[in-house]
Structure 1
Amino acid sequence: SLFTQGMVCHETYKDENNNWLSPDEIEKINNKIVQKKDKNKEVKVGPSESMSKSKKNVVDPEFIIENYGADSVRLFILSDSPPEKDVQWSEQGMVSSYKFIQKLWLLHTEIKRDILIENKELIDEEIEKFTNQLISKFTYNLDKFNYNVIIANMYETYNYLINYIKTKKKIKNLKENYRKILICFCPIIPHFSYECLKDLELSTDLKWPDFDKSVLSEEKINFVIQINGKKRAILNEKKDITETILLEKLKKDKIVNKYISKKEIRKIIFVKNRLINILINE
């Protein structure tokens, strides 16, 4: 199918004679936009428009790539907004994307240190579950062109892993799960991902990872407990629990039991994996 991407936009600038100025010809001093060649001459700032050579509101891609790297440019453009909408070019946004990739590299060095630890014994189910959920999210969002959502998934992954490696050590299946995570990152930041894979001496002949659907769902969910239509408690229980078992657990719960103890139950409304409403005679 054909997909049309939005334009990359930038502010426009003019001098006192209404001649167009490029971003390289202006600078900001004390909250004022002035010309670099004559700082006494202020610049007229126009609306953000699609980049155009005639209006000079363009940035040199070679300069940007040389200073920030191609991956930073890709990350910024994809993270700024949904792909069908226009992207507002921002130097600050570029710097933020660059810094995030530096943070990912520092995270990589920490993970590599853990991977190289010998005598690893533990197979951790938590990292397996997180990785499967991540692959599922990336697969869905790539298929739907939700690139800005994928960037949010990447930030989520960074936050998870930076905390994970602080508490989990000698994890036998960390290397394989991290490999799958790096492959998921490839469509967004391919140079970084390949560099990390090579650094770990892993194959760069890549195939998109599969995910296990059986581990995607949460094992426990929050049930809303209502008495005569009023919420009285939230109970965290196993998914797909039956009405009978849930009712037995409620009778042993101190908070709920005070409402139903010695009361006649007229009717029970049970919505699987969501709520139970117990109707009693007051």
Structure 2
Amino acid sequence: VEQRQLNQWFLRITQYAEALLNDLDQLSGWPERVRTMQANWIGRSEGAQIRFQLSSGSGTIITVFTTRPDTLAGASYVVLAPDHPMVENLTTEDRRESIQAFQAEVARLSALERTSDDGPKRGVFTGATALNPLNGKHLPIWIADYVLADYGTGAVMGVPAHDQRDRRFAQRYGLPVQQVIDAEGAVAAIADGEAWTESGVLIHSGEFDGLNSIDAKERITRHGSQQGWAEAKVTYRLRDWLISRQRYWGCPIPIIHCPSCGAVPVPRDDLPVELPRGIDLSGKGGSPLGRQEAWVNVPCPSCGEPAKRETDTMDTFMCSSWYFLRFADPHNKERPFSREAVNRWLPVEQYVGGIEHAILHLLYSRFFTKALRDRGLIDVGEPFDRLLTQGMVQGTTYRNPSTGKYVAPADVADPEAPTDPNSGEPLEVLFEKMSKSKYNGVDPAAVIDRYGADTARMFILFKAPPEKDLEWDDADVEGQFRFLQRIWRLVESANTKIETLEPEERSEPLSESDATVRRAIHLAIKAVSEDLEDEIQLNTAIAELMKLTNAITSVGVTEMTTPVLKEALSTLLRLLAPFAPHLAEELWHQLGGTSSVHHAGWPELDPSALVQDSVDLVIQIKGKVRGTIQVPADADKEQLEALALASDVAAKWLEGQPPRRVIVVPGKLVNLVP
């Protein structure tokens, strides 16, 4: 693969770098991990641009950006990207052949290969030198594979004592290492071949000796600014968005290239530009659209002379970066969306997507929203209020660690002690992303055929929090199947007592059984509502349904009055409906429900049902739990202490001796210290 210079289309996302970074602070409903990934991708760096003049006196200047101007005195060489435009003129004749050979070699490497921390850092000396503006030293100018022409200025200063990448390069080519930052451990690290990359106090830096790194950065930059060779600078790792793609599938770029007029936009009346149909996609090289002469050759919209359409298509992220705006106004035939509709519906209250979209789709969507706002087309500045990044479903794999090969589960004789069927070697048992090559896929249809769709849903939702990876385990599928069967049996047992789900008036005061169940009902309403609305913890919501089912079963259908039993089962099925919709609907009608359970309305919380007359109080002796007693819910500290001292637990463990100290935590525990 050889990289070549192409004329391509970009969107200037870098113009929004500062806003994209700063507005991350507004996204409190996003996972911290995603916000950190975007911040790192945008990559704001504060430092200085420093100008190095060539030693030849030609007046040519090489500009570098550094976040460490405090290390300028330690620079021992300057490095340019192999394709930097200055390389041609800098290179001396005796170095030209080796420079050109190296450039050709690097052109075959990707940016990732060139900048990887693992690979060796290689380069070639150009034969030219530059002056260090701080101390006047002559620095050799190299080209190296790890410097990219489109990143920063395409040039860096090499400070091997204080940058690990520079150190490896200097060691490879015997370049000098000059320590200019002193701190405890720095001398030893540099002597051991490592770079000291932390802050410290300046040495070997002339008038700046003795300054700490923070002050020295500011002082050296100001000094250089006064002398004309430096200026404070903020840069970003973020690059402009390349949207050109040399392929058929994609949205055509609505530009016509005219020899006289240049790039001319397709007239609005001719939009959208549609892809030609029935073309041959078997050819190689360049865009397949470029070979469609009938489609490519058109008159210039400006002058009418023969012209050609743009044959690149857009990056597919161009479409996915604003589709949610169309959802707000899907039937608009005049425009993609109206300002009024978008202002009504956006920002999206809850967005769900994988973590893999953190620095592409999600960042581009934020950019699109801000750009459209600045064009006056919408008023919102952020597209998504809350974000949930769901994990992946993982399956069991059997892997031979010595060969790295995977073994199909069908070939494993004993899953408890798996061995390779060919070699007999023990196999590693792992949970990994499902893949055909790893033989760990699960067919959803088979699971649904055996257990039903509701069981499959319940297992997936209960097994792990939504943002975590889910480890598929058939035994846990069975567990959810049994839970749904329990609910089925519970409703069946109540059928003889309930003919309709119409609420009935309760008789007061409630019996102990009714009060216990009502409290469980409203604890479940409170917890499930919070899990769905606030935390999106679907697994703990299902756990609350299990608690409610246990509470109803423990008291027993026959021990409850009909009004409370109706309330219990009506609530259980309405809370269950989002998770197991089919079962909830069936059981709802079995109990006399007329309309759908999904139209029945969410249960309303009754705070009075949560009030308890008594609570369990833990009794600790010397910090260890020794028992519990029932106490009035409104008992104060003095009453709790008296009740604890009078309890059988205290009598048993204190053996009649008064405690030296009593610690009371109202409503929770009393700790008696003998």
TM-score, with normalisation over the residues of structure 2? 0.33
- Equivalent position to 1:97, from 464, 477, 480: 480
- Equivalent position to 1:29, from 407, 413, 419: 413
- Equivalent position to 1:85, from 462, 465, 468: 468
SS in 1 for 2:440: coil
Quote the Cα distance in structure 1 between the aligned partners of 2:668 and 2:547.
27
Equivalent residue number for residue 159 of structure 1:
550
CA contact (8 A) 1:27 1:34 kept: no
SS in 2 for 1:172: helix
- Equivalent position to 2:498, from 108, 115, 137: 115
1:206 aligns with 2:597: no
1:211 is displaced (CA, Å) by: 0.8
SS in 2 for 1:236: strand
CA contact (8 A) 1:13 1:20 kept: yes
1:179 is displaced (CA, Å) by: 0.4
| Cα distance change, pair 90–41 in 1 and its aligned pair in 2 (3 A) | farther
- Equivalent position to 1:236, from 609, 622, 630: 630
CA contact (8 A) 2:612 2:633 kept: yes
1:250 is displaced (CA, Å) by: 7.7
1:169 is displaced (CA, Å) by: 5.1
Give the aligned residue type for 2:601.
Answer: K
Quote the Cα distance in structure 1 between the aligned partners of 2:389 and 2:566.
38
More helix by share: 1
Give the aligned residue type for 2:391.
Answer: G
1:136 aligns with 2:538: no
- Equivalent position to 2:442, from 59, 82, 85: 59
1:33 is displaced (CA, Å) by: 6.3
CA contact (8 A) 2:464 2:539 kept: yes
Give the aligned residue type for 1:89.
Answer: W
| Cα distance change, pair 178–9 in 1 and its aligned pair in 2 (3 A) | same
Summarize the alignment of residues 3-42 of structure 1 with structure 2, pairs less than 5 Å apart. 3-12=388-397, 26=410, 28-31=412-415
CA contact (8 A) 2:557 2:565 kept: no
- Equivalent position to 1:2, from 387, 408, 415: 387
- Equivalent position to 1:172, from 538, 563, 571: 563
Equivalent residue number for residue 215 of structure 2:
none
Equivalent residue number for residue 191 of structure 1:
582
| Cα distance change, pair 253–69 in 1 and its aligned pair in 2 (3 A) | closer
**Superposition RMSD in Å:** 4.6
CA contact (8 A) 1:10 1:57 kept: yes
1:121 is displaced (CA, Å) by: 8.7
| Cα distance change, pair 99–236 in 1 and its aligned pair in 2 (3 A) | closer
Quote the Cα distance in structure 2 between the aligned partners of 1:175 and 1:78.
27
CA contact (8 A) 1:11 1:45 kept: no
Quote the Cα distance in structure 1 between the aligned partners of 2:536 and 2:587.
25
Give the aligned residue type for 1:133.
Answer: L
Per-residue displacement from partner, 1:60-92 (whole Å, max 9, x unpaired)? 222221221111111111222222111111222
1:106 aligns with 2:489: yes
Deviates most, 212-221 or 124-133? 212-221
1:276 is displaced (CA, Å) by: 7.1
SS in 2 for 1:58: coil
Per-residue displacement from partner, 1:106-132 (whole Å, max 9, x unpaired)? 222112233249xx9966333222111
Greater relative contact order (Cα < 8 A, sep 6+): 1
| Cα distance change, pair 221–66 in 1 and its aligned pair in 2 (3 A) | same
1:6 is displaced (CA, Å) by: 0.8
Per-residue displacement from partner, 1:25-72 (whole Å, max 9, x unpaired)? x2553447699xxx9898966632112345453222222212211111
| Cα distance change, pair 138–10 in 1 and its aligned pair in 2 (3 A) | same
CA contact (8 A) 1:112 1:200 kept: yes
Give the aligned residue type for 1:128.
Answer: R
Quote the Cα distance in structure 2 between the aligned partners of 1:126 and 1:158.
13
Give the aligned residue type for 1:96.
Answer: G
Quote the Cα distance in structure 2 between the aligned partners of 1:95 and 1:148.
16
Structure showing greater Rg = 2
CA contact (8 A) 1:21 1:57 kept: no
1:47 aligns with 2:430: yes
Quote the Cα distance in structure 1 between the aligned partners of 2:467 and 2:527.
20
Quote the Cα distance in structure 2 between the aligned partners of 1:277 and 1:63.
55
1:206 is displaced (CA, Å) by: 2.4
Equivalent residue number for residue 264 of structure 1:
none
1:126 aligns with 2:485: no
SS in 2 for 1:237: strand
Give the aligned residue type for 1:77.
Answer: I
1:176 is displaced (CA, Å) by: 2.5
| Cα distance change, pair 270–116 in 1 and its aligned pair in 2 (3 A) | same
- Equivalent position to 1:73, from 430, 449, 456: 456
CA contact (8 A) 1:111 1:165 kept: no
1:95 is displaced (CA, Å) by: 2.4
Per-residue displacement from partner, 1:211-249 (whole Å, max 9, x unpaired)? 11233243323457899x999996532122245666776
Quote the Cα distance in structure 2 between the aligned partners of 1:196 and 1:188.
14
| Cα distance change, pair 45–212 in 1 and its aligned pair in 2 (3 A) | same
Q: Which runs of 5+ in 2 are unaligned?
A: 1-385
SS in 1 for 2:604: coil
CA contact (8 A) 1:10 1:48 kept: yes
CA contact (8 A) 1:114 1:170 kept: no
1:162 is displaced (CA, Å) by: 2.2
SS in 1 for 2:634: coil
Quote the Cα distance in structure 2 between the aligned partners of 1:211 and 1:162.
21
SS in 2 for 1:85: coil
| Cα distance change, pair 34–235 in 1 and its aligned pair in 2 (3 A) | closer
CA contact (8 A) 2:491 2:569 kept: no
Quote the Cα distance in structure 2 between the aligned partners of 1:47 and 1:104.
34
Q: Which runs of 5+ in 1 are unaligned?
A: 261-266
